[in-house]
Structure 1
Amino acid sequence: MRRFASSKALILVVALGLMAAACGGEDTSSEEVSAAQAQAAAAQSDAAAAQSEAAAAQSEAESAQAEAEAAAAALAQAQADLEAAQAAASAAMEGDEASQSALADAQAALEEAEQRAAATAEASEAAVAAAESALAEAEQALDEAMMEQEAAAGPVTVRAAITGDEATLNPYTYISGFPGWNLLMLQYDSLMQLDAAGIPQPWLADTVSVNADLTEYSFTMVEGVTWHDGQPLTAHDVDFSVDYYINNVEASRFARDLRGVEDLVVTGDYSGTFVLGSPKAGFELAALADIPIIPRHVWEGVEVPSEHDFGATNIGTGPYKLVEYVEGQSYRFEANPDYFRGAPAVAELVVIVYADDAGAQAAIRTGEVDVIFERIPPEQIPLLDAQDPLDIALGPEFTTQMINYDASKRPFDDVAVRQAINLAMDRQDIVDTVFLGAATVGSPGWIHPEHRSFNPSMIPVHDVAAANALLDEAGYLDSDGDGVREFDGQPMSFEIITNAPDSLRLRIAELTVEMLAGIGIETSVAAVETGTWEQAVWPEFNVNNGRNYDIAMWGWSAPVQADPLRLPQLVASVEAGGFLNLTGYASAEMDALSAALPVESTEAGRIAILLRMQEIIAEELPFALLLYPDGAYVFDSSVYSDWEFIAGQGIVSKLSLLPPSARP
């Protein structure tokens, strides 16, 4: 079966599928079916003709390329002949007629070869242009065929699986960074939106500009956007949203995105300027493409947002309205037909909650759901891909799998212990065993190897002997010979807490137990419910509440890794703004670098700071980063197939449910 990335190439397959789709609607009259069949047949013919033209043009281009290569070879030979003739002429007596004749012949051959090469190159360029034009026509035919297929099939309903309830999905109640935030943003919009490459583009904003010292971010807005209840969206709603998040920090992370914002000056009904107290690079990605704008007329009377009853639905500007929520069971979203970027391609989205990924996988096998809104385990990729009509969307992601430890208490406050744990972890084995190769080995310095600010000196090392030597030298010995080292008169025996519904993370925890046993550290796995796990590692999602664990398997959603400028949030001390610092790590140099990074106005300067921060992380190990999983999502292509894979983040976004013409 095909992979998602190749769908554009299968023009005839999609076109042929129109006939079946045209006949598949239960509520379609015979006349409508006949008309749809005729449209489908015409689309099939157009697509086939376009593909044939593209193939012919491609063949011509290949032939022209071969001729160009032959001409180039002839040109090279002529040049060689000319050089030989010139050498002979130099060696011969001046006026030697034979030498002069050879030289003239070689020059003529060279001119002829140059003329032939130029003519062939011109023909080759024309053939390539024709091939590109034919391909564009074929792709247009495909798009038209897909639109006709959707029209013939009628409104599309997609049923999606998730593993875990996400509460009422407003900015103060959603639970997880993934998929909770993703589902939240189906209902709401931000000023900017990530495109398929993961780059922020204007969305509710029509334009965004920044001044030279990165302290003022100005925007103009798309006019005519309305809330779900029909009220107009204006810059006053943006101003209200910013003020509300800053002054109502309870249970919301968006106040953190807005740290440093001193004012939002509304300069018109559809324009304004964020005024920052100091330079802040990356504000577009960290805030403007992340913060949901909320309606002032709905929220201005809400005093305790996490407890407020908003009635039947959340009010946003997004492409979907949440019209039904059954706690612990399901969500139902209806498309917003008046969405300012265009009506969604999917009319209804039903999200069903399963206890674990095994239940979700069973559901898609039996046709109970049409897509899983979470990554599937690597071992399931070939099995699910082999089942028609299921397909797999694959791509690299910036999510992480890592080991946290409470670095504020013994023995994890000793860098030697943290370094030993890091050396004991065989990352490649985890990638191969748990992810079957569908992941990238983690950098000890945190930043993904494909990012331009990655420090190439960050090389993960697996060395059990070195780990044992470190612990021996630091005085962590096995005095009673039971295979477990001691610290402060007690055994180095700890619990590794992880969330039970995540089978991949659970398997990593089990391998971690085996690897740490090799250096005399005894561990056991405590697999608990997600809420219990989060409460132990990140109580109330507030680092000021401390920690209630020794060792924990952990991972951050894609936005944290995708933006290296967020690194201070992870490694600055809590007092210095490390509001994602879940291990209690503290370093004076890291705090200084964390303070310098967001105010550095040049990219070269920011990268230099990031390179040094990576070195410190790799040496002092506030956490042990293990790997970056690839994203693998399974979907039923007979129901809906136009999923958009955002680089580093996957398919669960509003872009996937909008028509291609509405995407940035």
Structure 2
Amino acid sequence: MRGPSYTSTLLQFNTTTTPFNNVGFRRVVAGLVNNKALVETILLGNGTPGTAGFVHPDSPFFSKAAPTYPKMTVAQANRTLETLGFKLNRAGVRTGRDGKPLNLTFLVASNNPQRIRAAEIIASQLRPAGIQLTIKSLDPTTVQQSLWPDFDVAKGRNFDMAMWGWSAPVQSQLNLAGLFHSNPVIGTLNVGGYRNKTVDTLTTRMLTTVDAGARETLAARVQEIVAKDLPFLTLWYPDTVYAFDANAYDGWKFQKGQGIINKRSFLK
């Protein structure tokens, strides 16, 4: 049995530090990263490119109104970066407003070859525009502690950008408050330090709204804002494939986003 998985792979930004505290810079990165090519190369086509609003296209809460990543040519990216004040030095590397080269470290877990290869491809997609990345492949615990020390976003963060991701329940439970709320008590998954007062208000309302239609409206609005702010890029959601022996048991039911290991597979 095969179907979509709600697990996600992200290009996570630290939105509290230069240059990723500049939404224009984040949009340029989003414009240069070709996540469709990543799905074809890394997953051999067995996945779905990420949406700008994080929510999976197969989710009942996915909003078609949310904008997509505004793709850019290198020439367009260069013009935008110059306008934003990120100049090219003689070495062809972007500099900040202080004139110093942007020294951007890109963290990735050493036990995940898919993410390591994706990091390499992303670095090559950004380099023509003068955005130079230093990829650091570290043990998973070190990466986690840099983004999410002791699993507590209140303890801050120590990274520029990283390959990251969340398990299926974040999507299936539509935990947008956990992902995007700026209060660390609520936004327990907000590892990039994203802040938007409107998103805070909308996601707080989602926590207490039980009407499905109203909840869908709130989720759509959050997706529209996040797709413009881009606190991270959702790169892809993998397909999930299960093989089973029908002679042993053939009652499996595929739950969209979760797979066959669910209670419907075991209840008449």
Query: How many equivalent pairs are there?
Result: 264
2:47 is equivalent to residue 439 of structure 1: yes
Candidates 429, 445, 460, aligned match of 2:69: 460
2:189 is equivalent to residue 585 of structure 1: no
TM normalised by structure 2 equals 0.90
Mapping for residues 81-160 of structure 1, pairs under 5 Å: none
Task: Identify if the C-alpha distance between structure 1 residues 509 and 643 changes in structure 2 by more than 3 Å, giving closer, same or farther.
Answer: farther
Cα distance in structure 1, aligned partners of 2:142 and 2:16 = 21
2:207 is equivalent to residue 611 of structure 1: no
Percentage identity across aligned positions? 33
Q: What does residue 597 of structure 1 align with?
A: 206
Give the unaligned 5+ runs of structure 1: 6-393
Q: What does the per-residue CA deviation read over 1:493-543, in whole Å, with 9 as the maximum and x for residues that have no partner?
A: 312111111111111111111111122110122112221221111111111
TM normalised by structure 1 equals 0.38
Cα distance in structure 2, aligned partners of 1:473 and 1:507 = 31
Q: What does residue 4 of structure 2 align with?
A: 396
Q: What does residue 21 of structure 2 align with?
A: 413
Indicate conservation of the 8 Å contact 2:68/2:227, yes or no: no
Task: Identify if the C-alpha distance between structure 1 residues 559 and 481 changes in structure 2 by more than 3 Å, giving closer, same or farther.
Answer: same
Mapping for residues 224-235 of structure 1, pairs under 5 Å: none
Q: What does residue 481 of structure 1 align with?
A: 90
Task: Identify if the C-alpha distance between structure 1 residues 492 and 649 changes in structure 2 by more than 3 Å, giving closer, same or farther.
Answer: same
Cα distance in structure 2, aligned partners of 1:469 and 1:604 = 42
Mapping for residues 254-293 of structure 1, pairs under 5 Å: none
Q: CA deviation at 1:638?
A: 9.9
Indicate conservation of the 8 Å contact 1:401/1:626, yes or no: yes
Cα distance in structure 2, aligned partners of 1:572 and 1:497 = 24
Q: What does residue 234 of structure 2 align with?
A: 625
Q: Name the SS of the counterpart of 1:577 in structure 2.
A: coil
Q: What does residue 500 of structure 1 align with?
A: 110
Q: What does the per-residue CA deviation read over 1:587-639, in whole Å, with 9 as the maximum and x for residues that have no partner?
A: 1111111222222342222222111111110111111111111113567x599
Q: What does residue 180 of structure 2 align with?
A: 571
Q: What does residue 267 of structure 2 align with?
A: 663
2:132 is equivalent to residue 522 of structure 1: yes
Q: Name the SS of the counterpart of 2:162 in structure 1.
A: strand
Q: CA deviation at 1:466?
A: 3.3
Cα distance in structure 2, aligned partners of 1:545 and 1:622 = 19
Indicate conservation of the 8 Å contact 2:5/2:168, yes or no: yes
Q: Name the SS of the counterpart of 1:518 in structure 2.
A: helix
**Matched letter for residue 463 of structure 1:** M
Give the number of the structure with larger relative contact order, counting CA–CA contacts within 8 Å between residues 6 or more apart: 2
More helix by percentage: 1
Cα distance in structure 2, aligned partners of 1:449 and 1:460 = 14
2:95 is equivalent to residue 491 of structure 1: no
Q: Name the SS of the counterpart of 2:11 in structure 1.
A: strand
Q: What does residue 45 of structure 1 align with?
A: none
Task: Identify if the C-alpha distance between structure 1 residues 481 and 597 changes in structure 2 by more than 3 Å, giving closer, same or farther.
Answer: same
Q: CA deviation at 1:412?
A: 1.0
Task: Identify if the C-alpha distance between structure 1 residues 604 and 547 changes in structure 2 by more than 3 Å, giving closer, same or farther.
Answer: same
Cα distance in structure 1, aligned partners of 2:6 and 2:234 = 12
Q: What does residue 549 of structure 1 align with?
A: 159
Q: What does residue 31 of structure 2 align with?
A: 423
